[in-house]
Amino acid sequence: MKCYVCLVLVLVGSLLLSAGYGAELTKDVEYGRAGDEPLLLDVSVPEGEGPFPVAILVHGGGWNGGDKANVGFEGKSADISPWFAPLTAAKFTWFSINYRMAPVHRWPACLEDVQTAIRWVKAHARDFKGDPERIALFGHSAGGHLVCLAATVVDESVRVQAVVGYAPVTNHEQDLPVRGGLSLSLQQLLNRPKELTPESLGLLRAISPLNHVRPGLPPFLLVHGDADKTVPLQQSLDFQARLRASGVTCDLITLPGAPHGLLTWDKYLPGYQDQVIAWLLQTLK
């Protein structure tokens, strides 16, 4: 019966993607301020009465690039445009956020902004026909790191009902030997040298979602290409194992041959977005 329900949900998701439902897009809504700097998001509201399930979208870009609407990043690895149409067609109210980035803003500014956005969306979801009790976080790469970490911290004010991580960074310690120390992105984010020190190692462990897994977390869906050379698939495999060992639901969609960026993923696993929508519909029902 469970497999039959999943099949039905996949078919429903496919129909929704082809239906072309409309939505109203409002750009540059202020969700907070950091000193004198406004924190902005774009919001897409489906046609109809609602309340609709909600998705909060967090772009990647190595904590030092990327944009909520892909301005200046179209066609690049930080391009998250593949998320927009499926969520719109499935009648989600979605919020795509910008956040403060390195090296101008060091850790934990980006995480604090994601947490601020979650609190703001929970408080204002109904203003945009959204259901504050059905919120999913979306994040790719560095954005995947931020949503996975936000979902694992002990803070009820940022608790959500689902997390979808696309090639998320979940263990900053895993690829240290390959990189020979801290990557340039981490150097800029943490204001630390490339050479690994005990202090840097402690910090990397502290900001790795893998090390914050505990029972009672919301369900996770991980989506990852097995040819990803930026964030190895092993990170999602290890994260899934740690979550499941703690009794937390975690499903994984592996895309054979897919690289790190989202734009070509349909080529490697056609219909994977239908699977994501089906998972969300089932999880947020």
pLDDT at residue 117 in the model: 98
Both tokens of 199, joined, read 């202090």
pLDDT at residue 22 in the model: 83
Q: Give the H or E element holding residue 138.
A: strand 130-140
The dihedral built from the CA positions of residue 235, 238, 242 and 247, taken in this order, carries a sign that is: positive
Per-residue pLDDT, averaged over 17-34, amounts to: 81
pLDDT band at 3, cuts 50/70/90? Answer: very low
Catalytic residue among 44, 141, 185, 200: 141
pLDDT at residue 4 in the model: 35
pLDDT band at 16, cuts 50/70/90? Answer: very low
Res 28 pLDDT > 60:
yes
Q: What percent of the chain has pLDDT over 70?
A: 93
Res 227 pLDDT > 60:
yes
Q: What percent of the chain has pLDDT over 90?
A: 92
The reply to whether 228 belongs to the active site is yes
Catalytic residue among 172, 228, 236, 274: 228
85: three-class secondary structure by DSSP: helix
Tokens 């409309």 -> residue? 22
Strands 37-46 and 23-34: antiparallel
User: For the chain, what is the mean pLDDT?
Assistant: 93
pLDDT tens digits, 33-46: 999 999 999 999 99
Angle between helices 2-19 and 272-283 (to 10 degrees): 120
The overall pTM is greater than 0.75:
yes
pLDDT tens digits, 198-223: 999 999 999 999 999 999 999 999 99
Both tokens of 268, joined, read 């490697």
pLDDT tens digits, 85-133: 999 999 999 999 999 999 999 999 999 999 999 999 999 999 999 999 9
Per-residue pLDDT, averaged over 245-274, amounts to: 98
- Backbone angle region of 149, left / alpha / beta, with phi > 0 → left and psi within -120 to 50 → alpha: alpha
pLDDT at residue 232 in the model: 97
The reply to whether 251 belongs to the active site is no
Position 110, amino acid: C
CA pair distance 222, 227, nearest whole angstrom: 15
pLDDT at residue 166 in the model: 98
pLDDT tens digits, 129-181: 999 999 999 999 999 999 999 999 999 999 999 999 999 999 999 989 989 99
Annotated domain spans of the chain: 2-171+208-283
pLDDT at residue 6 in the model: 42
Both tokens of 59, joined, read 């772009």
Q: How far is CA 282 from CA 164, 252, 273, in A?
A: 13, 15, 14
CATH number of the domain at 2-171+208-283, out of 2.40.128.130, 3.20.20.100, 3.40.50.1820, 2.40.160.20? Answer: 3.40.50.1820
The reply to whether 145 belongs to the active site is no
**By mean pLDDT, which of 15-19, 154-158, 263-267 is the weakest?**
15-19
pLDDT at residue 175 in the model: 87
